[in-house]
Structure 1
Amino acid sequence: MRKGVVELAVLAIIGRQERYGYDIVEILKTNGLTITEGTVYPLLTRLRKEGFLDSRLVESELGPARKYYCLTASGREYLDALSIEWVDLSSGIYRVLNGDD
């Protein structure tokens, strides 16, 4: 389940605004999700290969060029589908935790 949660979080972050890998890790951390770069970068690569993300290199004044990621149309559809699944799952878990039978 954690893999799917990280995937959903990363897609949601990129869905709001084009982002680069380290920036995504920091946003996750700020929101209480400690996910390492070693998890995020392979995920970004896989999502790009699957056609859910596009990327572009942008020169940086502070070091090497940064690879920015944005959602493709199929990436937006995938994010929407994952979001619906998450709402359904979290609602079910909430009901179980509160003893709603």
Structure 2
Amino acid sequence: MRADAVRGHLDGLLLAVLEPAPLHGYAIIAAVQRRSGGALDLRTGTIYPALNRLERLGLLSSSWEAVGERRRRCYALTDAGRAALAQERTAWQEFTAVIGSVLNPSPPPRPAS
């Protein structure tokens, strides 16, 4: 899949994989890859700026978690993030319906005989 195919949809993807439970950055990348059947392979340079932006917008919260001697930042949806995800899903359904109607038009109805 082309790398630019995700453009404009990254926020929705990130919010969706965080819906079930908080995750750290690499787990978010793995969740997107797993849920896309390997078609989407996001890079850290792509997701971390997006996660920081979503946190500044109040759609995510984050906290530090200790794993052994290492620390990692975990991200979770806020209530505003859940509302934004619902809006993203609605917008996606509308978008795919419109594009689908152009790419796969319904055949015109046959006249009654």
AA partner of residue 42 (structure 1)? P
From the CA coordinates, give the structure whose radius of gyration is larger.
2
Find the partner of 1:100 among 78, 95, 106: 106
More deviation in 87-96 or 76-85?
87-96
Which segments of 5 or more consecutive residues in structure 1 lack a partner in the other structure? none
Q: Structure 1: which 4+ aligned runs deviate by more than 3 Å?
A: none
Question: Percent same amino acid among aligned pairs?
Answer: 29
More deviation in 90-99 or 36-45?
90-99
Q: Does 1:84 align with 2:80?
A: no
* Corresponding residue for residue 76 of structure 2: 70
Deviations 1:5-32 (A, max 9, x none): 1111110001121111111111222222
Measure, in 1, the Cα distance between the counterparts of 2:84 and 2:96: 18
Map 1:12-31 to 2 at 5 A. Answer: 12-30=16-34, 31=36
Task: Give the CA deviation at 1:2.
Answer: 3.2
Which segments of 5 or more consecutive residues in structure 2 lack a partner in the other structure? 108-113
| Matched length | 100
AA partner of residue 60 (structure 1)? V
Deviations 1:45-67 (A, max 9, x none): 00001111010111012x52111
Measure, in 1, the Cα distance between the counterparts of 2:54 and 2:7: 13
Task: Give the CA deviation at 1:4.
Answer: 2.4
Task: Give the CA deviation at 1:3.
Answer: 3.0
Q: Does 1:52 align with 2:64?
A: no
AA partner of residue 9 (structure 1)? L
AA partner of residue 34 (structure 1)? D
